[in-house]
Structure 1
Amino acid sequence: MADSLCRLCPVPPKTTSQTVEERGKWGSKKEFILSVAGAIIGLGNVWRFPYLCYKNGGGAFFIPYLLFLVTCGVPLFVLETALGQYTSQGGIMCWRRVCPLFEGLGFASQVIIFYGCISYIVILAWAFLYFFYSFSGELPWATCNNTWNTDSCVVLNSHNATANWSSPVNASSSVVEFWQRRVLKISTGIEAIGNIQWDLSLCLLLSWIICYFCIWKGVRSTGKATYITATFPFLMLVVLFIRGMTLPGAIHGIKYYLYPNPARLADPQVWMDAGTQVFYSYAICLGCLTTLGSYNKYNNNCYRDSFYLCMLNSGTSFLSGFAIFSVLGYMSQKQGVDISSVAESGPGLVFIVYPQAVTLLPWPQVWSVCFFSMIIMLGIDGQFAGLESIMTSLTDVYPSQIRKGYRREFILMLICAVCYAFGQLLVSEAGAYILQIFDHYVCSGPTLLLMAIFQSVTIGWIYGAERFCDNIKDMIGYRPLPLFKYCWMYGTPLVCSGTFAFLLLRYTPLRFNNSYVYPWWAYWIGWFLAMSSLSMIPLTMVCKLAKGKGTLWQRLKTSLQPADIPMMVKEMESISTSLHVPDDGKNNL
């Protein structure tokens, strides 16, 4: 039997070229590699990994990080990429093919991505604002003579190594005031929405327009866009790394970054941070990898590609640590303060620490433009990978309705417009509070852990790890390492379950900047956002069983079986008819 007959693919062997072209393929291997690299290498590599490494024992942090990488990160990465390539379907239809009962996994991942598209892109709006201000004759965050500055504003530079750096009651940095009083115009709490900031709203609109035109023609435009968006950040990161390593005090910063402290391994939070970082930076359980893999040729060696991409991701995180902490060491020496006073994670690193650092360098405008252009490219890559996942999933579910004419472009524009409308809340004066709700409850933590458990159990036990290994062999010519089979069956579910249990036991209410306590209704909104995605799994199960025929046991057995080739042939024949693809009699098995 031909190789293609073994695929769980809705396209039967020897289909007409018109049908294949309707969905599209990557123009070259490079486009796939660059697209996945752009999707998985983002802001988490720059602002999260270096700080976690420093905070959690330096070089010792690599022990829990590598454990989670081997047991969860790489196995799930291979699983999702291979699943997309094998089924030639996006995040929803791939699960319908291998296990219809768990089709809700696809819907859940797309809901998570939709929420992520609304919230994640506001970081691009902030970066664009800083980028435009970088062309000023004098960087506005380097002075205290602006309308938004207070009387307690202090310019921190090499001539003013003030002891008040760590005493915000007495003084506040000009960089912090620019971030809080000019960019965010942050209110007193989430209940005080305030006004929408027109400049941030315009930057948000610009971000959406760029993302729209990056993917409006589907995989054809996405692949071409990645030649710029995926390569430029690496170039800038290398430039910043070289510049950082040549600064005075750089070695001091690197020591804080890598100096091993094995005693930290006794703290359970260190292991928690390692697991969260792997899930966060590898973009697993979101459907993006499945979507991008679905545009590969059937015999592409996705197994080998996954190894290279995982190495590239972790290597980029490691390199980012050198680039960031060399600059932090320079800041520490220049200002005469301990490096712990300037080391931060998250938005604080990108929009407070690094802008402060460039004010200490010669030609600060040049370095500011380089840094924020890198942040913009990293953000755009992750954003349009999520949008492409949503559009691919919708198109695969309704191919005959969406692939005609300009319907795809119109639906994409509608999704972008809806996300932009919701995004106005995030560029209001309470936007920072709302963004943290999205980030904490939707795109990380328990949600992704549960998704990982369901995915690995579905493939490892219901569909069958042996069968999936055979599918991979059918594509690439050899079976993956036995380690992956045991990880899908035992390692990933057990590690994720243990991490999830630890999260529940150590649960503490979310706070903003460790001080502001959200009102009760904000927590309810957060849990609603989390449950609205996860609820897709049981709801889809109920619908599948309710629509089935026979006894409950018969319905359950049927819904656990992968789709068969004859059913898919009939489906594709009806789609071909609706697309007016002529049948020349060569499409039969």
Structure 2
Amino acid sequence: MAHGSSDFDSRGDIMENGYANRLSFRNDDPSPGSVADSKSEKIPQRETWDKKLDFLLSCVGFAVGLGNVWRFPYLCYKNGGGVFLIPYVIFIIIGGVPVFFLEISLGQYMKQGAFGVWDICPIMKGIGMASTIVVFFCNCYYIMVLTWAIYYFARSFVAVLPWATCNNPWNTEFCTTNFSSASNMSIEQGNGTSNGNLTTLVNVTRLTSPITEFWEREVLQITDSITEPGELRWQLVLCLLAAWIICYICICKGVRSTGKIVYFTALFPYVVLVCLLVRGATLPGAADGIRFYLQPNWTKITETKVWIDAGTQVFFSYAIGLGALSALGSYNVYNNNCYKDCFILAIVNSATSFFSGFAIFSLLGFMAYEQNVPIADVAESGPGLAFLAYPKGVTMMPLSPLWSCLFFFMILLLGLDSQFVGVEGFLTALTDVFPRQLRGRRELFAGCTCIVCFLVGLSMVTQGGMYVFQIFDYYSASGMTLLWMSMWECVTVAWFYGAERFYKNLESMIGYRPSPYMKWCWQFVTPITVLCILLSTWVNHQPLVYNRTYKYPGWGIGLGWLFALSSMICIPAVAVFKMVTTSGSMLERFKKLTTPIIQRHQQKAFMASHAEPADSGNGDCMPCIEGNGRTSIMNETEEQAQRLTPPPKYDESHFQSRH
């Protein structure tokens, strides 16, 4: 694999012998004045960000999402409080930042989405296919969080929140707002001898809160099993439709309009978080909640599970492995300083996770104080925090409908920009593969994509839809799939393509060489670290269980693994398929399939970065670039013949005939 670092280094006499005169490049992105300008009607010009800030806020909106608000604080307290920050920061340095930078810079260099960026090493184009499948799954199920947020938001415009009392049609006789009083009463009655008193003692174990009954009996109307799908919840269907309409409006016009929308969707949640923190800090018990959030438990640092949680959280929160970061980077101008952007975005992402913990645990501390229970009893993660724990805390605050509206509006915005940027990544991936057919029909293509995802989402708004949602969430975009793709991304760029060669490409883009630590991480540290986490995840894998009680049937678990493997298997399957279908010996096939496909916009940078002589790692072969934009292998005899033959003039009509 070491040869990959020098495929393009045998350029010593290309410039001297005029060989560059016959270079021509793929022109999928014609610009005015280019040799393919006459074809520009067929392939509309590729967009770029209107401003650099558009790109930064889009990355913030995509990467900073609900996981920062509802997953990180929970993991932090569960894994030793402040101690958890040690493995978390370590994994940011050796995994999160390097892969984050790799994906963005690769998209900026190749000017392609998830599929096209792997033209850099065609044998590994399965990575692009895998990430596109995963982001499609994410687009189908992640929108459900927006659906529930819209529903809660709409139900918050009342004087008394519907989940604050037990006086609603959906409530049962076991609903109570005061567990301590009910428990004390049952214990006193249980000391009697009558059968009725014994019944009361048994029933107290079935007591539920009004927020739990609102969530399960009113919002979801959940059935007992995945085998009982029940009916469509028409209220949730309308909310799902509204979420997709909003998403379509955000993406239909392309990244220039999307880049303006994120000014609001990415920034306003910070305003709400600050308001929630200020309000929460003034409540009794808030200090205890924050202390519980940060108080270090040093015994946790030696537990393997703590390190696994830290690693997977970094890859989740940085949105790595989905292909959307490459899509966002592909709309940058070629010379954008993506290296500096990477560190800015990493700081914003991690700081948001840390800051949100203060806002969340100040309220959880207040809830524990009001109910006179340990904070651990009220802490939740995932949807349980957003739709159970926090709404319950809001009911204890003055002006509870106002704070409920603010909270669910924040949840909606946090999920919205992650959603429409994910859809943008999917659209970009396919549009770059079929630019003639899709780029000029973006609104239609975006609409069809939204409709397909909406139809898939209908399976999650039935009465048994939560079981389907959990399968999608647990398997289709799990830590296994993201870690698997991240590992192969590093291996491909660092070893197949060549870390040193990619550093030359980066230097041609940003004007200087990044720190060598990035290269070391891509080559050794990150792949080994990710592989260790991946193996630990497989070893400690537990079958999916809903609500800690319901165990899925075998076919449900099998369906989940089908979702997971449908993306993971793409990487080896595509590599094997390309090796089998390519002509030549095994070595020749491998050389052809690890030779990059150069885009036209890279011509100037390509010639500049390979003008100096260097030893080739490919023996007596050197790559050249044909009219179709693909590099091919010249053997030594062909190279000598080329040197003895005057270089042909660049024929524009010939180039146009190729496109």
Query: What TM-score results when the alignment is normalised by the length of structure 1?
Result: 0.92
Supply the distance in 1 between the matched residues of 2:524 and 2:474 (Cα, whole angstroms).
27
Counterpart AA for 2:471: I
Structure 1 CA distance, aligned partners of 2:254 and 2:348?
25
Go from structure 1 to structure 2 and tell me whether the alpha carbon gap of 1:256 and 1:188 turns closer, same or farther (over 3 Å shift).
same
1:577 alignment counterpart: none
- How far did residue 568 of structure 1 move? 7.7
Q: 1:548 aligns with which of 570, 576, 582?
A: 582
Contact 1:241/1:319 (<8 A) preserved: no
Return 51-60 or 327-336, whichever deviates more: 327-336
Q: Is contact 1:90–1:392 with CA below 8 Å preserved after alignment? A: yes
Q: Name 2:640's counterpart in structure 1.
A: none
User: How is 1:2-81 mapped onto 2 (pairs within 5 angstroms)?
Assistant: 16=34, 22-81=45-104
| Residue 371 to residue 442, structure 1, CA distance change in 2 (3 Å) | same
- Please, which runs of 5 or more residues in structure 1 have no aligned partner? 574-582
Displacement of 1:544 after TM fit? 2.2
Amino acid across the alignment from 1:61? F
Cα deviation for residue 25 of structure 1 reads: 0.4
Amino acid at match of 2:89: L
Structure 2 residue aligned with 1:107? 129
Task: Render the CA deviation track for 1:74-103: whole Å, top value 9, x for unaligned.
Answer: 00000000000111111110102x100001
Residue equivalent to 2:237: 201
Match of 1:377 in 2: 413
Cα distance per residue 1:170-193 (max 9 Å; x no partner)? 411001110111111111111111
Counterpart of 1:306 in structure 2 is 342
Listed as ranges, the matches of 1:134-145 within 5 Å are 134-145=156-167
Equivalent-residue separation in structure 1 for 2:182 and 2:107 (angstroms): 54
Would the aligned equivalents of 2:460 and 2:469 in 1 still touch at CA under 8 Å? yes
Range 518-527 or range 460-469, more displaced: 460-469
Distance 2:26 2:178 in 1: 61
Contact kept, 8 Å, 1:84 with 1:289, in 2: the verdict is yes
- Confirm or deny: 8 A CA contact 1:10 1:569 kept in the other structure: no
Pairwise CA RMSD? 2.7
CA contact (8 A) 1:12 1:569 kept: no
Counterpart of 2:555 in structure 1 is 521
Q: Secondary structure at the match of 2:163?
A: helix
Name whichever of 409-418 and 516-525 sits farther off: 409-418
d(CA) in 2 for partners of 1:366, 1:453: 45
Distance 1:403 1:323 in 2: 43
Q: 1:586 Cα shift? A: 12
Question: Which runs of structure 2 are paired with 1:224-263 in the superposition (5 Å)?
Answer: 224-263=260-299
Q: Equivalent of 1:148, from 156, 160, 170? A: 170
1:317 aligns with 2:317: no
Aligned to 1:579: none
For 1:155, give the aligned amino acid: T
Compared CA separation, residues 8 and 46, structure 1 to 2 (3 A) = farther
Gaps of 5+ in 2: 1-14, 187-202, 601-623, 631-651
Asked if residue 437 in structure 1 is aligned to residue 471 in structure 2, the reply is yes
Cα gap change, 1:131 to 1:394, in 2 (>3 Å): same
Q: How does 1:442-481 map to 2 (within 5 A)?
A: 442-481=476-515
Report the count of equivalent residues.
572
Which SS does the other structure have where 1:48 is aligned?
A: helix
Which of 176, 180, 184 is 2:220 aligned to? 184
Distance 1:223 1:161 in 2: 53
Range with bigger deviation, 371-380 or 333-342: 333-342
Deviations 1:422-449 (A, max 9, x none): 1111011111111111111111221111
SS of the residue corresponding to residue 460 of structure 2 reads helix
Q: How far is the alpha carbon of 1:309 from its aligned partner?
A: 0.4
Question: Would you say 1:328 and 2:364 are equivalent positions?
Answer: yes
Against the structure 1 CA distance between its residues 570 and 219, is the aligned structure 2 distance closer, same or farther, given a 3 Å change threshold? farther
TM-score normalised to structure 2 length: 0.83
- Cα distance, 1:67 vs. partner? 1.4
Matched, 1:118 2:140: yes
AA in 2 matched with 1:85: Q
- For the pair 1:418 / 2:440, whether they are aligned, the reply is no
C-alpha displacement of 1:143: 1.1
2-structure distance, mates of 1:168, 1:53: 32
Name the CA distance, whole Å, in 1 between partners of 2:27 and 2:178. Answer: 60
1:503 aligns with 2:525: no
Is residue 196–residue 428 contact of structure 1 (8 Å, CA) maintained in 2?
yes
Greater Rg over alpha carbons, structure? 2
Quick one: which of 104, 115, 119 aligns to 1:92?
115
Most deviating of 186-195 and 544-553: 544-553
**2-structure distance, mates of 1:564, 1:21:** 20
My pick for the range that moved more, 489-498 or 500-509, is: 500-509
Structure 1 residue 7: Cα displacement: 11
**Aligned CA distance change for structure 1 residues 156 and 201 (closer, same or farther; 3 Å):** farther
Q: Given the superposition, is the C-alpha separation of residues 41 and 569 from structure 1 closer, same or farther in structure 2, using an over 3 Å criterion?
A: farther
Q: Which amino acid aligns with 1:148?
A: W
Aligned partner of 1:191: which letter?
T
Q: Which amino acid aligns with 1:427?
A: V
Q: Which amino acid aligns with 2:142?
A: Y
Q: Give the equivalent residue in structure 1 for 2:607.
A: none
Aligned AA for 2:542? Answer: T
SS at 1:299 equivalent: coil
SS in 2 for 1:413: helix
Residue 570 of structure 1: CA displacement? 3.8
Evaluate the alpha carbon distance shift between residue 546 and residue 261 of structure 1 in structure 2; reply closer, same or farther with a 3 A threshold: same
